Structure 1
Amino acid sequence: MARSLFLLSLAAAVPAALLSGALTWAIRPLMMRIALAKPNARSSHRIPTPQGAGIAVIAATLIAAAAVIGLAGPADMKIPATVFGATLFIAAVGFVDDVRTLSVAPRLLLQGAAVAAVILAAPEGLRIVAACPLWLERGLLIIAGLWFVNLVNFMDGLDLMTVAEIVPVTGALVLLGWLAELPAPAMVAAAALLGAMLGFAPFNRPVAKIFLGDVGSLPIGLLAGWCLLQLAWHQQMAAALLLPLYYLTDTTVTLFRRMARREPFWAAHRSHFYQRATDNGFSAPRVVGEVFALNILLAALAIGSALTSSAATAVVLLIIGGIATAFLMRRFSRRLPLSG
């Protein structure tokens, strides 16, 4: 069984990587004409750079995942069509926003519709807290899903940052699939997304030749969020929180700080801890490298929490992950001492 799961994930990841790289290379000239990202208050880049590589990443992910699942055969290897449809829909919303900026209200409504479609299409038997009324749990999940989709977008503000987040997260999800702690369809989707991000990575290393754009960050958030939700629905809540813990903490703390200061939190800004790090003397590769290292630690803790039968141990691992995350955020918020 483990060998067949390994082969399935490999069959999804490798073609996705090759297709993502080829499509990114092919569409870059077009994106330079129609989706050029000019520096603004949020940007870390200083020269106009094309965005829209998310088209390649998402196309490669969905094609590879659909092909593997279609060839696998068994009914329990299916990904709900709603997940694919919602991913394409939110990618289209993101592309429109990349080309012609949407105002906040319609953007959130359209994103919320995509998230709600995924959540509400799930079987009623999938529950995180059985004692909680179904309508309340699903409502809270829609809000959480909308936040997760947007936080992935918010954090996509530095070369390779999203790669440094999504590669460890999806890699851990694939490993959890091999260990039978994650349903096989979610494992295949994670493997395809992992491969697609690796195929995109060479084009996004500093100085980036192309960005994901909202057409990439939003559907990546939706797909990764759906995979993490599968963990939560299968009573692996600690793992589901540990894997994206840095993104969750950075964006949530930043949001509340801006709200407390009565700042327009919906406007472009450079208040995230990873952005403050570059302002405090950290180079972009160093920031991304330290985030990647933290995410590897969080992935190890998540796998450990999924494998333990002790709820107390899982909580301890979650606390360790929280301490490590807080340490890195504090480090980013302080000016780097001058050498020499």
Structure 2
Amino acid sequence: MAEARISMYLPPDINPTKAAIAYGCRALPKLNEELQSEVLTTRQKALMALCDLMHDPEYVYQAIDIGCLDSLKALLKDINDLVRIKATEVLCIMATHNVGRDGFLEHGIIPALSYLLDDANSICRENLHKAYKHLAQLPSGAQGIVSSGLIPSLVWKLQKEQGAVQELILDTLAYCLQEDATEALGSRVVPFLKQLLLSASDTIRAKAACTLMAVSIPLQGKNQVWEYGVIPILVHLLKDDMDEVQANAAGALTYAAVTTEGKYAALEAEAIDPLLDLLCSPVNKVRLNATKALTMLAEAPEGRRDLQSQVHIFRTLQEETTEVSTRRAAQIAIKVIEWKP
């Protein structure tokens, strides 16, 4: 007579929200077919399963090879919110791998994602901006975003978005503007960044100052930082409680003070004393950027005169720091301060 027995083994791991993954080399082709299904639940389950697989760069390579990116591009226009969310999530995960970023550039994913910049679902927008951030970390990826003409849109979204999405846009712009800041400067990025430098969020202030550094690389950017009155705000941020804000503010001030107008605007804002205070910071990045900014100010006769009595601070920094870059920066600062016509 049969008896009812309770198995000692755990039940199989079955997730009803994910598609069953086929064995071996058939796994991705089957999922790609399901991505193109007319049945909503089939597309959703395939995307859920694909999210797990894309953490492995080998699967990313295979997915690109069999045409999954084209299927995902089509799903970005799906009317179902969950499909768009998971499609952008898959692309976001793929963008964390070099092979995925290369695939984005080859298959036109950058403009395809841009259609969701105004998507009503905030998760979709956050995912696409994460993907852009990962892509921009690659110089060719940053150039790809610039070449796609998206910089004006990203600058405009900078003042429309909030929180995490705003932070992601700042990260993307910081990378892209190092490649080419022309379009951003024509889209009033400096006034927008000026507003964000006054944000209550430490992270936003730090990222805004970092982006301002990239903006200040070309001469036009340096001039706009001076013209829009950003330099006094940067001087104020030198006294910020957050090290990253101090470092980035000092870095942006260094670029802005390359021009004569920038130098004298910084001197009028009394930048020397807070910069000298930063030379005692325990954070090397802060000390390094402050040293470079003071070197720029020392190129002006008034700045050099005010700093001549402080040369001992730079000598101490040069002798005590273990970082080669900071030691070299201190050495250059001493030469500039002690220079005589």
Structure 1 or 2, whichever has the larger Rg, is 2
Question: Same fold judged by TM-score > 0.5?
Answer: no
Kindly indicate whether structure 1 or structure 2 has the higher relative contact order, using CA contacts under 8 Å at least 6 residues apart.
1
TM-score, L = length of structure 2: 0.26
TM-score, L = length of structure 1: 0.26
